Amino acid sequence: MLYREFGRTGEKVSILGFGCMRFQVMDNDPKKIIEEKAIEQVRHAIDRGVNYIDTAYPYHGGMSEPVVAKALKDGYREKVFLATKLPSWLVKTREDMDKLLNEQLEKLQTDHIDFYLIHALNKGFWENLKKCDVFDFMDKVRKDGRVRHIGFSFHDELPLFKEIVDAYDWEFCQIQYNFMDENYQAGLEGLTYASDKGLGVVIMEPLRGGSLVRKIPEDIQAIWDKAEIRRSPAEWALKFIWDHREVSLILSGMNEMAQVDENIDSAEDSTPGMLTDKERVLISEARDVYLSRIKVNCTACKYCMPCPFGVDIPMNFSLYNDASIYLDYEGQKTTYQNFFSKEQWASKCQECGACETHCPQHIKIRDRLKEVAAFFEG
């Protein structure tokens, strides 16, 4: 295993971290983790050099933290850095933050969290947390020893990311990044900005939720097959990220022993600048082929929002595009129908046309929303 300096924390972390949000479960119930397998996989990863274990309050319906606690018994807690996250959406008062952290310490059966993140920051959560005096909370938990290092994870746009980075003496952050998402949310510019400020940077969604390794289209596989060194799609995606000097570590939500070993094997020879120019061109080619499948040229600028009838126009187009780009109709349909409010569905469009007057891409939004509705709701 290789290790990198984690920003200004003074710690060295394994370049691969174990993300504990996708353990195998029974009966398709996220709360019913198959504990024996989860514990075996986590400990095997640690035995092979992984020293960063990441969980969070809501993972597996609240059951990830207790299972991680079991995995870290028998001396394993002392071998790793433990990361978990404050559930921002549950904070209503300053007291809530202490209450939640203490609950997590109990569930994790530890007296301190090595790396504690303010979870899933977006504009709404950030404004609320500031009102609840999150800065005082972060100062005090570091001082009293319940938390060793403080950071945040992020799900919003670049300007807000920079604002948050500059708002506090953070030690690290966590962002979504992969070869398809260089300009998504914080993106490459955010990665560089945080690193230049001395923050360690944790990368989540390196495989874009599995989209970059499932159902590989023939034309994408043909690109990978041109490489002098043969690698799996997962290896290409991970090495693209490890090639960046600004990256401290990648989180992978592994749930099979073969995944654990494959990812660790890949990590063992992954250093910044390792890819050749030819290999970087191949990755760009793959990206271009994926992007050629975009159905709607929406940049999610949100100039069309808010819709007076509640339709989430950019999200409709995003799911529609992802279904086409990654040949993942069933996966995106499941997301659309189960994790996306019906009030925001494309079929709720009343064809007033207000959105089209503001769209800088001149998209015929009303017509395209009909396509989305037929695609996901038909």
Q: Which CATH number, 3.40.50.300, 3.20.20.70, 2.30.30.100, 3.20.20.100, labels domain 3-284?
A: 3.20.20.100
- Residue from 79, 133, 88 nearest 110 by CA: 79
How far apart, in whole angstroms, are the C-alpha atoms of residue 122 and residue 302?
A: 15
Q: Percent of the chain, pLDDT > 70?
A: 100
Residue listed under structure tokens 């274990």: 53
Q: If you average pLDDT over residues 332-350, what whole number do you get? A: 94
- Residue from 351, 356, 297, 360 nearest 324 by CA: 297
| pLDDT of 299 over the 90 cut | no
- Ordered by start, the domain boundaries in the chain are 3-284, 313-377
pLDDT tens-place string over residues 112-123: 999 999 999 999
Q: How many of the other CB atoms lie within 10 Å of CB of 372?
A: 25
pLDDT for the residue numbered 360: 86
pLDDT tens-place string over residues 255-288: 999 999 999 999 999 999 999 999 999 999 999 9
How far apart, in whole angstroms, are the C-alpha atoms of residue 159 and residue 125?
A: 15
Can you give the pTM of this predicted structure? 0.90
Query: In the structure, what pLDDT confidence band is assigned to residue 93 with cuts at 50, 70 and 90?
Result: very high
| pLDDT of 209 over the 90 cut | no
- The single-letter DSSP state of residue 305 is P
